[in-house]
Structure 1
Amino acid sequence: MTTTFDRAQVRGSAETLRERRLQLSALTIPPGRGWHPLRERMIDVLGPPTDTIGDVIEKLVLIQVILDELPPDPEANRVAAFNSLYLRITRQVEEALRGGVNHPDFLELLDVQFAKRYFDALELWNDDDEKTPDVWEVLFKRGLDTSLSRLTAAMLGVNAHINHDLSLALIGTWEELGAPDDDLIHPDYLLINQIFYAEIPPLRRGFSTRWQRELDRLAGPLDDWSQRTLVTVTRARAWDQGRRLWLLRHDPEDFEDARRTMDRCASLLAEWAIVGDRLITGTGQGVRLLRRMLRRQHHNHQPPPGRRQDVRFLANS
């Protein structure tokens, strides 16, 4: 596999993507990034090494406790929504490893490398570090934003994890186990798709607002089908992106330019998802308001009880 790399074009694309994202959202970063007021607890959790999928699950559980205690209210922080989804998926991966896969070493190492990218992002944000990936910043700085639905918050994390972290995790795995071999390890990679197919629909409905659940019922199986397709396409793209980045691994400057462009593309997609969330939420609020107005109008036009009896008496006489 060969690839060409136009450094100027890649850097120009990264800057254009950043400008477009900022046009969609000028939301400033809260003063002093970090998981205030539980910054020190987050440091303690993220500090120990992560070597096994058991380590990953243990950290995710502890992180969930911290996120659920953060402002604005217990279990209302929007980053907590993604972490709970990620914890459940990881537990299913651990179960798959016990059940037997072609190459468990590959799948477990990939899971660990995958998690490390998320843990690194949490740590960078906690340290008020500007190197926090843009795509994670989009979610992290909205932790207190309860106008953002928990469903969309969880999807922002999935977007960051698959469209940014996954290809980097693949490279980290290949660096330890050797160059990628599609025939040997790709089936295990695809196994995760099946876990997503099984877990995403109930999790999506659990995170949804009442209005989103109404839309889900109207869509019927279409939502499940579209999300299965989305998982398939995005994870296939992450694999291909990883293969391309693999060829740049010996050139740190080109590699970082490519990573930054990938990051900013995913962050722009995240901002568009937020725009969609605002539109759906606003529509739902409008529909609920209209329903209340119609009910109130119907109630106001009902004749008093005594008059209704008179009307029935006249009708029967």
Structure 2
Amino acid sequence: MAQTEQFAVRPQCAPAAVDPVVERMLAFGTAWPASDGVAVFNRVYLAVTEEIVRHVDAGRFPDRRAAVTLDVLFARRYLTAVDAATEGLRPPACWRPLFQYRRHPGVRPLQFALAGINAHIGHDLALAVVDTCHALGCEPADLEGEFDRVGDILVLLEERIREDLMPGPDLLEIADPLTHLVGAWSLERARDGAWSAARLLWGLRELPDLAGEFTERLDAGVGLVGRCLLTPWR
């Protein structure tokens, strides 16, 4: 199964720096039109990554190596999905709705941003924690502090994203279906789910068939949520 193989990929060493990740996201920003749905998410994710780098450089992560490793291995899963879509291959199910609807005129920028965050947090983050444990020879509990600090940054940025991308009150009233849709999704709940999934996957590391089945179903479930978030409004 594709997802079983994806789970089985284990980094052999910790990445050295975040710079190559930032460079690739900057390159995407110049290659894609601003209205492209993946470009919308890419701008959001670039802002997140740059904020994490600032926190790392300011010494706000006690374990710098763990924070950088988690950040880079996390980002690589997004970059791998982009590469797959670019090459005409099938990215993970969690990413497919965003790539399929990226040019749909009836989907608003906030939907694109949240669909990308949903895919990356709901699926990729759990696997990135496991990747990091293999790379550093540690266990999820050893990464909890870094995981929580990254999560706190994401929650703060989510609020900013909603403010920047949500249509104004004159365009979007409280009863508008889009208001209801985006209000039903929570980054904090997605982050909690990712941590639980990471711990479960780590516990299943000696049972690859079960780990692969769980990863595949996690991927499909997150993809279904992403498809709902991208419901066109015209």
TM > 0.5 between the two? Answer: yes
Alignment match of 1:234 (pick from 142, 166, 190): 190
1:58 aligned to 2:17?
no
Q: Structure 1 54/265 Cα, relative in aligned 2: closer, same or farther at 3 Å? A: same
1:102, 1:185 within 8 Å by CA — same for their partners in 2?
no
Instruction: Give the structure 2 partner of residue 265 of structure 1.
Output: 221
Alpha-carbon offset, residue 91 of structure 1:
0.3
Alpha-carbon offset, residue 127 of structure 1:
1.7
Give 3-state SS (helix, strand or coil) of 1:145's partner.
coil
Alignment match of 2:66 (pick from 106, 110, 119): 106
Q: Structure 1 142/178 Cα, relative in aligned 2: closer, same or farther at 3 Å? A: same
1:119 aligned to 2:75?
no
Q: Which range moved further: 52-61 or 148-157? A: 52-61
Instruction: Give the structure 2 partner of residue 193 of structure 1.
Output: 151
Q: Distance in 2 between matches of 1:87 and 1:213?
A: 28
Q: Distance in 1 between matches of 2:143 and 2:116?
A: 25
Q: Distance in 2 between matches of 1:146 and 1:82?
A: 16
Equivalent residues in 2 for 1:32-181, closer than 5 Å:
51-68=16-33, 75-100=34-59, 101-130=61-90, 132-181=91-140
Q: Structure 1 124/179 Cα, relative in aligned 2: closer, same or farther at 3 Å? A: same
Give 3-state SS (helix, strand or coil) of 1:135's partner.
coil
Provide the TM-score with structure 1 as the length reference.
0.62
Higher share in helix: 1
Give 3-state SS (helix, strand or coil) of 1:141's partner.
helix
Instruction: Give the structure 2 partner of residue 34 of structure 1.
Output: none
Alpha-carbon offset, residue 102 of structure 1:
1.4
Cα RMSD of the aligned pairs, angstroms, is 2.5
2:110, 2:162 within 8 Å by CA — same for their partners in 1?
yes
Q: Distance in 1 between matches of 2:228 and 2:157?
A: 24
Q: Distance in 1 between matches of 2:146 and 2:160?
A: 24
Q: Structure 1 77/159 Cα, relative in aligned 2: closer, same or farther at 3 Å? A: same
Report sequence identity in percent.
23
Equivalent residues in 2 for 1:24-35, closer than 5 Å:
none
Provide the TM-score with structure 2 as the length reference.
0.82
Count of residues in Structure 1 that have an aligned counterpart in Structure 2: 214
Instruction: Give the structure 1 partner of residue 230 of structure 2.
Output: 274
1:254 aligned to 2:213?
no
Instruction: Give the structure 2 partner of residue 209 of structure 1.
Output: 167
Q: Distance in 1 between matches of 2:208 and 2:149?
A: 31
Give 3-state SS (helix, strand or coil) of 1:134's partner.
coil
Instruction: For 2:221, give the aligned amino acid.
Output: C
Rg larger in structure = 1
Q: Structure 1 241/159 Cα, relative in aligned 2: closer, same or farther at 3 Å? A: same
Structure with larger RCO (C-alpha < 8 A, sep 6+)? 2
